Amino acid sequence: MHSLSSLLSRRWVWPQPRGTTGLVATAESGAGHTWGAIAPWGWTLDPSGDWYYWWISIMALPILYNWIILICRSCFPDLQEQHTVLWLSLDYLSDTLYLLDIAVRLHTGFLEDGILVRDRGRIRRRYLRSTSFPWDVATVLPTDLLYLRLGPGVPAVRANRCLRVPRLFEAFDRRETRTAHPNAFRVAKLMLYVFVTIHWHGCLYFALSSWLGLGADAWVCPNASCPGFARPLRQYLHSFYFSTLILATVGDTPEPQREEEFLFVTAGFLLAVLGFATITGSISSVISNRNAADAAFYPDPEPVRHYLRARGAGGRLARRVARWHQHLRAQRKLPAEQAVLQHLPRGLRAEVAASVHLPALRRVGLFQSWERGVLQQLVLRLRPQVFGPGEFVCRRGDVGREMYFVREGRLAVVAEDGITQLAVLGEGLYFGEISLINIKGEPPLPRHSPPAPPASPQPPASPGNTSGNRRTANIMSIGYSDLFCLSKEDLAEVLAEFPSARAMMEAKGRELLLRMGKLDVHAEAAAAAAAEEAECRTQALETALEGLQTRAARLLAQLESSAFKLALRVERLECQLRQRQSAGGSGPAGGLGPPRAQGPSGVQGPTKVTLTAVAK
Ligand SMILES: Nc1ncnc2c1ncn2[C@@H]1O[C@@H]2COP(=O)(O)O[C@H]2[C@H]1O
């Protein structure tokens, strides 16, 4: 069982809707401060987390309530009087949320040097010093106390509640970045602004009408004597309709009769001009955003169309090109998705690409047992390509530069006549690998590990595959085919890491080559026999060389021994010569000079050196 102290000293992470840490309760007040126990208020919010996002989304409601209802209640006194309890309840509910929002801001962390600061002391100090704090306080000042003096029929005393509007804009900004349909959201936001503007204008029109006297002239709002106009709803709808006519500059409104009316209508027209400019700008930015997103996703057909027209290549070909572009859009195929994602950091890009493409990759038999991390790396190297009906992906005899994985669609292996289909390839299969990998004639022996991948590019011809690096077949797309393309270099790198994948590919390729009669099964055996023969020859040469070396050593020994004997004889002769000369009296024997220094063997040094050199 957990002791109370261990529970209290633990760092709590609150459950997150989508796995992000948005709200964290800590036993510490932040870096450096340790609290004895968790205070119930000891939590902090991550401003980019989900909890904060949902909180400010909730905060949009009381702010909108104050902006829409307060003006209405102020200008339509009947509305205020008829539902006083409801309004007071909603008012104080909205005030509670405003106060809670201040509490939330006192617990919302901030980023410093890219790191989230969770020290509540620092968070508090930062908020209290910020410009939003006085603003927030102003919105919760108890101005309702004026009710005691003015009575509850003057809701305008709560006008300060509208000052919380920056929080509404923040909520809208967050929503816009998170929503899957930002353009729809932008249009909805614009409509809300338009509605609030007309609403305010309508309320002010009614207030002006009341001040001038309801039904006093044709321009002001009719009074209760008109049928239906005794009800506030009818009065409101009339005012809203009237303001819509003014702000939409439809102009089908009664002529103003008094100065106040002229001024009001003129101000309305000016507001309408501003509104039109804003609406036009916003809608055109929505449209251009949409077009920009489309342009980033799909290739623009216009330049190709122009090119074909300029080169006089219209007709059937132009229609095929147009149909291909149409297919991309209709089926949401994104050939330029790498360009769309390129601004993301590599790791994040890999994760995004993996989350989109992993299900398709997993359907490829070759990849089924691969780990997610490896597939994530692979997915970044794959280029999506779409082929139209009747288009050839590769032709027999071409040099192979990439291979393909079928993501969707059907492709035919077509015979030379261009019609006969030898096989049909579908989803999860791959092709185009034979010309890229060096397929041997014989499968590797079981006791060997699978052959190591080549470090350098493959030689153009291998001993087994007689086609070398040329395509062995024509591959034609039957309908529209959605393929992943992997370049030869990337394939070599992938196979270097996965010998088992290489073995699988080689086995399939060998089988196909055998069926096509393009596998020279004897080539490798012949190569092996030649290698064996060369080995035998080398061994024989080595043996002969060893014999020669032995004989040479023996000869050298003999030579040295004869040289030694020769030197001894020469010395003996010299001795005899000296003895004879000394026996014959003094003579030229003295001319022989001083006796020479003798070596350790008794042979004179230079003589020995000379003889050794001769022997060598
Ligand atoms: N009969 C066949 N059945 C299935 N696929 C084939 C057949 N013949 C050739 N291929 C594939 O078509 C590809 C054409 O290019 P490659 O020769 O590089 O690799 C070839 C094989 O992957």
In tens, the pLDDT along 36-63 reads 334 445 688 999 899 999 999 999 999 9
- Mean pLDDT, residues 166-189: 91
Claim to verify: residue 409 and residue 280 sit in the same structural domain: no
Kindly indicate the confidence band of residue 212, based on its pLDDT and cuts at 50, 70 and 90: very high
In tens, the pLDDT along 192-206 reads 999 999 999 999 999
- Could you give the number of structural domains in the chain? 4
Q: How far is the centre of ligand 1, averaged over its atoms, from the C-alpha of 394 (Å)?
A: 10
Asked which of 139, 155, 178 is the last residue of a domain, the reply is 178
CB 324 within 8 A of CB 388: yes
In tens, the pLDDT along 285-344 reads 888 887 887 778 888 888 998 998 898 887 888 888 989 998 988 888 887 787 888 888
Query: Is there a domain that residue 32 lies in?
Result: yes
Q: Is the pLDDT score of 552 beyond 90? A: yes
Q: Which of 8-17, 213-222, 512-521, 563-572 has the lowest mean pLDDT?
A: 8-17
What local confidence, expressed as pLDDT, does residue 317 receive? 87
Tokens read off for 464: 């087994």
Query: Is there a domain that residue 486 lies in?
Result: yes
In tens, the pLDDT along 396-433 reads 999 999 999 999 999 999 988 888 899 999 998 999 99
Q: Is the pLDDT score of 616 beyond 50? A: no
What does pLDDT average to over the chain? Answer: 82
Q: Is the pLDDT score of 147 beyond 50? A: yes
Reported pTM: 0.58
Query: Is there a domain that residue 509 lies in?
Result: yes
Asked which of 178, 199, 226 is the last residue of a domain, the reply is 178
What local confidence, expressed as pLDDT, does residue 443 receive? 59
543 versus 520: which is more confidently predicted?
Answer: 543
Q: How far is the centre of ligand 1, averaged over its atoms, from the C-alpha of 418 (Å)?
A: 15
579 versus 440: which is more confidently predicted?
Answer: 579
Q: Which of 220-229, 298-307, 311-320, 452-461 has the lowest mean pLDDT?
A: 452-461
Hey, whose CA ends up nearest to atom 13 of ligand 1?
432
Q: Is the pLDDT score of 602 beyond 50? A: no
Q: Is the pLDDT score of 66 beyond 90? A: yes
- Mean pLDDT, residues 436-461: 54
Claim to verify: residue 115 and residue 257 sit in the same structural domain: no
- DSSP letter (8 states) at residue 10: S
- Least Cα distance to 522 among 422, 441, 403 occurs for 441
- CATH number of the structural domain spanning residue 356: 2.60.120.10
Task: For residue 110, give the 3-state DSSP assignment.
Answer: strand
Query: Is there a domain that residue 310 lies in?
Result: no
Q: How far is the centre of ligand 1, averaged over its atoms, from the C-alpha of 508 (Å)?
A: 10
Tell me the CA distances in angstroms from 55 to 42, 102, 162, 318, 362, one per residue in order.
18, 12, 18, 54, 39
Hey, whose CA ends up nearest to atom 19 of ligand 1?
432
Query: Is there a domain that residue 526 lies in?
Result: no
Predicted ipTM > 0.95: yes
Q: Is the pLDDT score of 613 beyond 60? A: no
CB 155 within 8 A of CB 78: no
What local confidence, expressed as pLDDT, does residue 7 receive? 37
In tens, the pLDDT along 69-122 reads 999 999 999 998 888 899 999 999 999 999 999 999 999 999 887 788 889 899
Q: Is the pLDDT score of 452 beyond 80? A: no
Claim to verify: residue 218 and residue 173 sit in the same structural domain: no
What local confidence, expressed as pLDDT, does residue 586 receive? 53
Hey, whose CA ends up nearest to atom 8 of ligand 1?
473
Claim to verify: residue 481 and residue 399 sit in the same structural domain: yes
CA angle in degrees (0–180, nearest 5) for 55-135-278: 75
Kindly indicate the confidence band of residue 357, based on its pLDDT and cuts at 50, 70 and 90: confident
In tens, the pLDDT along 364-390 reads 888 877 777 778 778 888 888 999 999
- Least Cα distance to 406 among 424, 383, 429 occurs for 429
- Least Cα distance to 168 among 199, 208, 135 occurs for 135
What local confidence, expressed as pLDDT, does residue 20 receive? 42
Which residue range forms the structural domain that includes residue 550? Answer: 531-582+593-615
What local confidence, expressed as pLDDT, does residue 250 receive? 79
Query: Is there a domain that residue 326 lies in?
Result: no
Query: Is there a domain that residue 322 lies in?
Result: no
Tokens read off for 329: 């859009």
Task: For residue 33, give the 3-state DSSP assignment.
Answer: strand
Region for residue 315 given its phi and psi (left: phi exceeds 0; alpha: psi -120 to 50; beta: otherwise)? left
Q: Is the pLDDT score of 466 beyond 70? A: yes
Claim to verify: residue 471 and residue 605 sit in the same structural domain: no
What local confidence, expressed as pLDDT, does residue 494 receive? 83
Kindly indicate the confidence band of residue 283, based on its pLDDT and cuts at 50, 70 and 90: confident
Claim to verify: residue 16 and residue 140 sit in the same structural domain: yes
CA-CA distance, 337 to 333, in Å (whole number)? Answer: 9
What local confidence, expressed as pLDDT, does residue 582 receive? 87
- Please choose from 439, 475, 519 the residue to mutate so as to test ligand 1's pocket, defined by most ligand atoms within 8 A of CB: 475
- Mean pLDDT, residues 532-539: 91
Claim to verify: residue 85 and residue 201 sit in the same structural domain: no
- Least Cα distance to 396 among 516, 499, 279 occurs for 516
Q: How far is the centre of ligand 1, averaged over its atoms, from the C-alpha of 449 (Å)?
A: 26
Tokens read off for 232: 């506030």
Tokens read off for 23: 């709200």
Q: Is the pLDDT score of 587 beyond 80? A: no
Claim to verify: residue 162 and residue 20 sit in the same structural domain: yes
Query: Is there a domain that residue 38 lies in?
Result: yes
What local confidence, expressed as pLDDT, does residue 406 receive? 93
Kindly indicate the confidence band of residue 453, based on its pLDDT and cuts at 50, 70 and 90: very low
CA 242 to chain centre: 52
DSSP string, 89-104: HHHHHHHHHHHHHHHH
* CA-CA-CA-CA dihedral for 252, 256, 261, 263, to nearest 10: 80
Claim to verify: residue 122 and residue 164 sit in the same structural domain: yes
- Least Cα distance to 163 among 134, 138, 199 occurs for 138
Kindly indicate the confidence band of residue 149, based on its pLDDT and cuts at 50, 70 and 90: confident
Q: How far is the centre of ligand 1, averaged over its atoms, from the C-alpha of 430 (Å)?
A: 9
Hey, whose CA ends up nearest to atom 20 of ligand 1?
432
- CATH number of the structural domain spanning residue 237: 1.10.287
Q: Which of 12-16, 110-114, 255-259, 464-468 has the lowest mean pLDDT?
A: 12-16
Q: Is the pLDDT score of 1 beyond 60? A: no
Kindly indicate the confidence band of residue 524, based on its pLDDT and cuts at 50, 70 and 90: low
Claim to verify: residue 5 and residue 106 sit in the same structural domain: yes
What local confidence, expressed as pLDDT, does residue 451 receive? 47
What local confidence, expressed as pLDDT, does residue 401 receive? 94
Indicate which atom in ligand 1 lies nearest the CA of residue 515: 1
- Residues in contact with ligand 1 by the CB-under-6-Å rule are 394, 400, 413, 422-423, 431-435, 471-473, 475, 512
Hey, whose CA ends up nearest to atom 9 of ligand 1?
473
Q: How far is the centre of ligand 1, averaged over its atoms, from the C-alpha of 507 (Å)?
A: 13
Q: Give 430's strand partners.
A: 405
Q: How far is the centre of ligand 1, averaged over its atoms, from the C-alpha of 427 (Å)?
A: 15
Indicate which atom in ligand 1 lies nearest the CA of residue 472: 17
Percent over 70 (pLDDT), the chain: 83
CB 46 within 8 A of CB 116: yes
- Mean pLDDT, residues 528-534: 84
What local confidence, expressed as pLDDT, does residue 3 receive? 41
What local confidence, expressed as pLDDT, does residue 420 receive? 87
Claim to verify: residue 466 and residue 546 sit in the same structural domain: no
CB 236 within 8 A of CB 206: yes
Please return the burial class of 384, using the count of CB atoms within 10 Å of its CB with bins 0-12, 13-18 and 19+: middle
Claim to verify: residue 430 and residue 554 sit in the same structural domain: no
Asked which of 470, 485, 519 is the last residue of a domain, the reply is 519
